[in-house]
Structure 1
Amino acid sequence: MERHEVANTVSGATVGGHVVQAGSIGSVHLHQPPTVPTPRQIRNPRPTFVNRDRELAALTSALGRLDDGRPTVVAFTGLGGVGKTELVSQFSSRNRASFAGGDLYADLSAYRHLGGVDLSEVLAGFLRAFGVDAPAALPERAARFRTITATRHVLVFLDNVEHAAEVRTLLPSCGLVVVAGRRRLPGLMLDGAEVLQLGPLSRAAGATLVRRWLGPQRGTERDLEALVELCGGLPLALNAVGFQLLERDDLEVDQAVVELSDPDRRLASLNNEEGGIGRVLDPVYRRLGPHARALYQVVGANPGPFVSAELAAAAGVEQVPDALRTLRAAHLLDDVEEGGPEKRYRAHDLVRLHARSCARELPEYLDLLARIVRYYRGRTAVADALVLGDRFRIQDPNGQGLPGFAGKSEALQWLRAERANLRELVRAAAEQGWHGEVWRLCESLWSLYHSDKNYGDWIETHRLGVESAQWDNRPDAVIRMRNQLARAYYELKEYPSAAEQVAMATELLPLVEEPRLSGVLYETDGLLCLADGRPEHAVERFELAREANEGDAHGVVVQSYNIAQALIAAGRAAEAIHVLDGATSLADRTDDASMLMRLPLVRARAHRALGQAESAVHWAGECVRRAVELGHRAKEREALELLVSLAEETGDDDLAARSRARIGELKP
């Protein structure tokens, strides 16, 4: 019988199956291996998306750092509703090709109970997404998750993370993990993660976003930017307003701006099915401990934008450092980078609005506001006493046991840093009818406004100060307020308004006994005479002012300073130097630093008038030196401008250049 050689061959590749040669298989069953699904859990992005170039660039950069041996972690923290989830959705949609293993999503707030997260259940969900049964124990689930992700790049998005430890258990073996949270996550930085804070949209970017919803014909760019500003650049708030505008064709953008401009109506306007600012912040507020909640209430009760540890303690908050850490961690407070001698913090505008609503629900709200006002009135009086020394004051500048300052410069720095708070405190105290607090605050604010020339604040607060002094039935305070208001008008060269205030104050002099009150009015009237080209009349007024200040060394020095200026204007510069000699001697004996700074400037002008340029340069430079020591920018600028003129007259190009350069460095 002839035999034949038989050989079976299979050419090509086999993928995911079996090759069997059998004459009879019988009961043998062959199964195809299961296909591992590719999860795509991160939601699709919305079509309207603006800005966030920096954050998208950070995520794109992280793609280049992917390592098969370990995951790369990038975290975004920020206030709820700032757009963290949308940012990651945009990135995921644009870069799905880089994550062949799929993308996973977990909102940890859905797994959080009594402050803890059920990480085991999160991992079970991830495993099910890969078509794998989850073991019973957490360590085994974590191990299986790492095994599955060891050979594939995945994108894992963990939303609403509160603690770094919640992330560590959920890390894959490789790929990119993006974390989003409303709390700061410094612990992740220790693990090598890149942690970025996501801030609000700029006015331009927010306006672009709203324009994409409304179309090109509705609302001006100015109105849209105003809308963004009132929403604090928060996308969640903009969604709420956009929803209203799209739902109501009759609601114009400028009308929405007017409605949102009322703080008492704004929070209600921003709560709807698309916004829900209250729904975001209410749970956060409820979860705060008692000390952090008390600090949050101070944030809401404080009329101004800034809070400090000292303010919190004065308002009655206990365990202030812990309370500050808690609010900072939750992005309810942010550090203020520039400011005075103590650390200050600021809340996002909508957080302040929410905190305000929480504070106003307190039965003791007015008591809390009163404590804040008393703190600022006392601390401002302490600062004023340091900056301007023993100048005449109606009120007792006692700080009621409040902390002091290291010196005049630090006190002036504090006043500058708290300027916005102080302006709002005056308004709030006036609204409550706390008239004594209003005019006392205004009297102490002279040291700030006279130094920095904040004319808008100066005039607004002192108009309220005049009204409050009248309500308080204090003619002495009315005279003081009107005179300080007149000085603002005088410096703005609004001389008729200044003269009107002096005239109305003068009518009240028969009702007061303090002679220095007539002195302050003679002084302002003398300045107006100088401005009107009547220097001899000015000399007379200033001499009357000096006489009214007999016994008050500072007042005598100030009026001698004024007399010298009037004498120079009258062509009597030699007499002016004689007057300045006596004033400087008295200021030296009484250690009157503010006047020892000012007197050299008038002396420089007197020497200039006498043709003594070298002496004039010397004394102008002395004024600059002392102004720098005291942090008095306005007087430093004035002396530098005189130096520029002197340098031009003498041909000293180097002095002129140096003086101009320094003037350019001074903030207006």
Structure 2
Amino acid sequence: MTDGDRTVNTVSGTVHGMVVQAGTVVMAASGLAVPRQIRGPRRAFVNREGEFARLEAALGRLDDVRPAVVAFTGLGGVGKTELVAQFAARSAAHFPGGQLYADLAAHRHLGGADLGEVLGGFLRGFGLPYVPDTLAERAAAFRTVTAAGRRVLVFLDNVEHAAEVRALLPTTGLLVAAGRRRLPGLALDGAELVRLDPLTTGAGSELVRGWLGPGRGTDAELARLVEFCGGLPLALNAVGFRLLDREDLRVDRVLAELTDKERRLSSLSNEEGAVGDVLDAVHRRLPEHTRAFYRLLGVNPGPLVSVELAEAVGVPRAADGLADLRSAHLVDDVAQEGPERRYRAHDLVRLHAAGTVRELPGRLELLARIVAYYRGRAALADRAIGDRFRLQESGAGQGLAGFGSGADALEWLQSERANLLGAVRAAAEQRRHGEVWRLCESLWPLYHGRKHYGDWVESHLLGIEAAQWDNRPDAVIRMRNQLGRAYYERGEYPLAGEQLAAAAALLPEVDEPRLAGVLWETDGLLCLADGRPERAVELFTLAREANAGDPHGVVVQSYNLAQALVAAGRAEEALAVLGEATALAGREGDAPMLMRLPLVEARAERALHRPAAAVGAAELSAGRARELGQPRKEEAARALLVDLAQELGDTALAERNRARLRELRGR
């Protein structure tokens, strides 16, 4: 509600406990979801009682004033992640606010981790109906939802710098960090630093004996096996798979194979050496179709693989090969929603797999097929999400599986985000310039809808360079405009303006008027943000004219124009523009815009002090958003309805929309 020149958020009814504000949405903290993001533990686990004692001691230091921090460091494959998974399962009752997980390796861009993305994932885990756009706002919201009474366990994997931990501390609870590098800077903050060593010979032998049973292999042979594996659980798992897969395979035979490569086995202290020796032996024993899938792990530019990807690039018997790799613990399931399962290989497994294909004659051809798959599937997803002006040809993705709905397509883009960025990088390295900018163009709905700014900026810097090498000034304009939108949404308006100016200089070289229209659109948004609505009206008018003949483009620019007119105090004119745009969208069956237009209409009616009419328009927008599976748009409409209900004094309307907001948040 408004109070003079101030905007005041209020919560009606009785609230027990904290109230959380995220952007313009206010809700009771008691309604937050309880995230369970840390994966479940495995059954076989030994000899970590000392480390568990450290973690249990940290539980005794928990209070409602500050968080406790424990940092584990050690070699890759030593079992840091499994240790924390075991602890999370045992200590769930100590953390009523839930468990949060982030692999910082998946959030690194140009050497640094995008902490805003991590915080966004945490806040979505709590079910916040609105996630703020800026890092500072996300950090503030995270501190609020983890305050007293909502103690949480936060697990950060693959940490490289102490500053990453400091930026992600909850208000109360326990943060456990894991990484390969020592983090002495955290000791200055009161954190407990623990080095996680490989398993002792006795503990490793106990682990293997538990798999094989009492009658297979002598104690001395098992001890020697553990020594050759360097005590790394990852290496022991791989060897254990071989022994369990072949009951006739003797332990001494495996030992003989491992001793064949004395030079590499002599470097057990080297992180790659011990695992490489074991994986070499495992790889030799894999069936050929499983080796083909293993090679895919080494060539794929991203961390995730799926059966669909493998089949699309020609891996034979992909499902069987994946099953073999899963049994050997060479890949793990990734916790996710949706029917298409994805799997992640340990970093050292990917490193070894890359070594097996480094000299393979067909490696670059396989990489080209992988990039083509991601480019084609992303193009299909982009088109499934909605109709818009595109430069690339319409035939991309032929022969690949399509999407049942725009919502399904957006979830696929989100799930494949790390792979898609990896594909952009790989295509740029291989100078496949056309693939780079076309893939970037198709990623617009992902980056614009989910706000992955780190990916957005990095990929489009590569996209600009690729389009220049491809001698496509039209694509350069498109890439610079999309990059400018990223800067605009991050509030970096001067950088956005620089991209627009560089793009506008190329307009004389192209014949497509809609390219000028997209630049005027972004410039208009900058004017709105800068408090110049009348100039925004002029620019959106030009953009609409540039889209003449493109019904969707005309509707989009009418939508923008109406927003500018409302901001300029010309709400009646905005309603006239919206009426024409709605009629055109109806004739064209433009469902996404028929969802968005009524929301601006509601704001115009509100500006004209006609709250009842505003309620009708906002309810129409919310209903259509629900039908289209667009929760963010529905949340915006429901939030406006709550405000309107408060102005009208309509308690039933307010509660009905609050209930729906809670339902959306729960999802």
TM-score class, shorter-chain normalisation, is 0.5 to 0.7
User: Structure 1 residues 210, 80: CA separation in 2 closer, same or farther (over 3 Å shift)?
Assistant: closer
Q: What is the Cα deviation at residue 460 of structure 1?
A: 1.8
* SS of residue matched to 1:51: helix
Gap runs ≥5 in structure 1: 1-44, 55-78, 87-198, 241-266
TM-score scaled by length of structure 1: 0.61
Match of 1:330 among 319, 328, 331: 328
Q: What is the Cα deviation at residue 658 of structure 1?
A: 5.3
* SS of residue matched to 1:317: coil
Contact kept? 1:435, 1:468, Cα under 8 Å: yes
Gap runs ≥5 in structure 2: 1-45, 56-75, 84-154, 160-173, 205-225, 233-264
User: Structure 1 residues 521, 268: CA separation in 2 closer, same or farther (over 3 Å shift)?
Assistant: farther
User: Structure 1 residues 494, 270: CA separation in 2 closer, same or farther (over 3 Å shift)?
Assistant: farther
**Structure-2 separation of matches of 1:221 and 1:268:** 39
Contact kept? 1:469, 1:475, Cα under 8 Å: yes
Contact kept? 2:575, 2:601, Cα under 8 Å: yes
Matched, 1:397 2:398: no
Corresponding position of 1:71: none
Count of aligned residue pairs for this structure pair? 457
Contact kept? 2:156, 2:178, Cα under 8 Å: no
* SS of residue matched to 2:635: helix
Q: What is the Cα deviation at residue 418 of structure 1?
A: 1.0
**Pairing 1:230-379 to 2, within 5 Å after superposition:** 272=270, 276-379=274-377
Corresponding position of 1:501: 499
**Structure-2 separation of matches of 1:618 and 1:402:** 42
Matched, 1:522 2:520: yes
**Structure-1 separation of matches of 2:52 and 2:602:** 55
* SS of residue matched to 2:52: coil
**Structure-2 separation of matches of 1:446 and 1:201:** 29
C-alpha offsets along residues 170-193 of structure 1, whole Å, 9 cap, x if unaligned? xxxxxxxxxxxxxxxxxxxxxxxx
Letter in 2 for 1:514: E
Contact kept? 2:267, 2:274, Cα under 8 Å: no
User: Structure 1 residues 350, 629: CA separation in 2 closer, same or farther (over 3 Å shift)?
Assistant: farther
Q: What is the Cα deviation at residue 451 of structure 1?
A: 1.5
**Structure-2 separation of matches of 1:579 and 1:639:** 20
Matched, 1:581 2:579: yes
User: Structure 1 residues 588, 395: CA separation in 2 closer, same or farther (over 3 Å shift)?
Assistant: same
* SS of residue matched to 1:405: coil
Corresponding position of 2:171: none
Matched, 1:618 2:606: no
User: Structure 1 residues 209, 518: CA separation in 2 closer, same or farther (over 3 Å shift)?
Assistant: closer
C-alpha offsets along residues 220-258 of structure 1, whole Å, 9 cap, x if unaligned? 7999989979x9xxx999978xxxxxxxxxxxxxxxxxx
User: Structure 1 residues 425, 655: CA separation in 2 closer, same or farther (over 3 Å shift)?
Assistant: farther
User: Structure 1 residues 397, 209: CA separation in 2 closer, same or farther (over 3 Å shift)?
Assistant: closer
**Structure-2 separation of matches of 1:654 and 1:576:** 30
Q: What is the Cα deviation at residue 370 of structure 1?
A: 1.0
**Pairing 1:34-183 to 2, within 5 Å after superposition:** 49-51=50-52, 82=79
Q: What is the Cα deviation at residue 339 of structure 1?
A: 3.6
Corresponding position of 1:445: 443
**Structure-2 separation of matches of 1:361 and 1:206:** 40
Q: What is the Cα deviation at residue 549 of structure 1?
A: 0.8
* SS of residue matched to 1:292: helix
Q: What is the Cα deviation at residue 557 of structure 1?
A: 0.7
TM-score scaled by length of structure 2: 0.61
Corresponding position of 1:421: 419
Contact kept? 1:206, 1:225, Cα under 8 Å: no
Corresponding position of 2:484: 486
Letter in 1 for 2:517: G
Contact kept? 1:341, 1:413, Cα under 8 Å: no
Letter in 2 for 1:628: R
C-alpha offsets along residues 246-292 of structure 1, whole Å, 9 cap, x if unaligned? xxxxxxxxxxxxxxxxxxxxx99976499711122221111111111
Match of 2:594 among 588, 596, 609: 596
Matched, 1:432 2:425: no
**Pairing 1:628-639 to 2, within 5 Å after superposition:** 628-639=626-637
Q: What is the Cα deviation at residue 590 of structure 1?
A: 1.5
**Structure-1 separation of matches of 2:405 and 2:513:** 30
Q: What is the Cα deviation at residue 442 of structure 1?
A: 0.8
Match of 1:411 among 405, 409, 432: 409
Match of 1:471 among 466, 469, 472: 469
User: Structure 1 residues 499, 269: CA separation in 2 closer, same or farther (over 3 Å shift)?
Assistant: farther
**Structure-1 separation of matches of 2:576 and 2:617:** 15
Higher relative contact order (CA 8 A, sep 6+): 2
Corresponding position of 1:76: none
User: Structure 1 residues 437, 83: CA separation in 2 closer, same or farther (over 3 Å shift)?
Assistant: closer
User: Structure 1 residues 202, 443: CA separation in 2 closer, same or farther (over 3 Å shift)?
Assistant: closer
User: Structure 1 residues 423, 652: CA separation in 2 closer, same or farther (over 3 Å shift)?
Assistant: farther
Q: What is the Cα deviation at residue 219 of structure 1?
A: 7.9
Corresponding position of 1:166: none
Q: What is the Cα deviation at residue 661 of structure 1?
A: 5.9
Q: What is the Cα deviation at residue 596 of structure 1?
A: 1.5
Q: What is the Cα deviation at residue 520 of structure 1?
A: 0.6
**Structure-2 separation of matches of 1:48 and 1:209:** 20
**Structure-2 separation of matches of 1:362 and 1:508:** 42
Q: What is the Cα deviation at residue 550 of structure 1?
A: 0.9
Letter in 2 for 1:394: L
Contact kept? 1:465, 1:481, Cα under 8 Å: yes
Letter in 2 for 1:642: L
* SS of residue matched to 2:309: helix
User: Structure 1 residues 440, 276: CA separation in 2 closer, same or farther (over 3 Å shift)?
Assistant: same
C-alpha offsets along residues 127-176 of structure 1, whole Å, 9 cap, x if unaligned? xxxxxxxxxxxxxxxxxxxxxxxxxxxxxxxxxxxxxxxxxxxxxxxxxx
C-alpha offsets along residues 600-655 of structure 1, whole Å, 9 cap, x if unaligned? 11111111111121222232233233333333343233323323322332234454
Rg (Cα) greater in structure:
1
Q: What is the Cα deviation at residue 455 of structure 1?
A: 1.9
Corresponding position of 2:258: none
Contact kept? 1:486, 1:498, Cα under 8 Å: yes
**Structure-2 separation of matches of 1:200 and 1:649:** 44
Contact kept? 1:451, 1:633, Cα under 8 Å: no
Contact kept? 2:389, 2:553, Cα under 8 Å: yes
* SS of residue matched to 2:392: coil
Q: What is the Cα deviation at residue 479 of structure 1?
A: 0.4
* SS of residue matched to 1:346: strand
User: Structure 1 residues 618, 582: CA separation in 2 closer, same or farther (over 3 Å shift)?
Assistant: same
Letter in 1 for 2:472: R
State percent identity of aligned pairs: 58
**Structure-2 separation of matches of 1:85 and 1:380:** 34
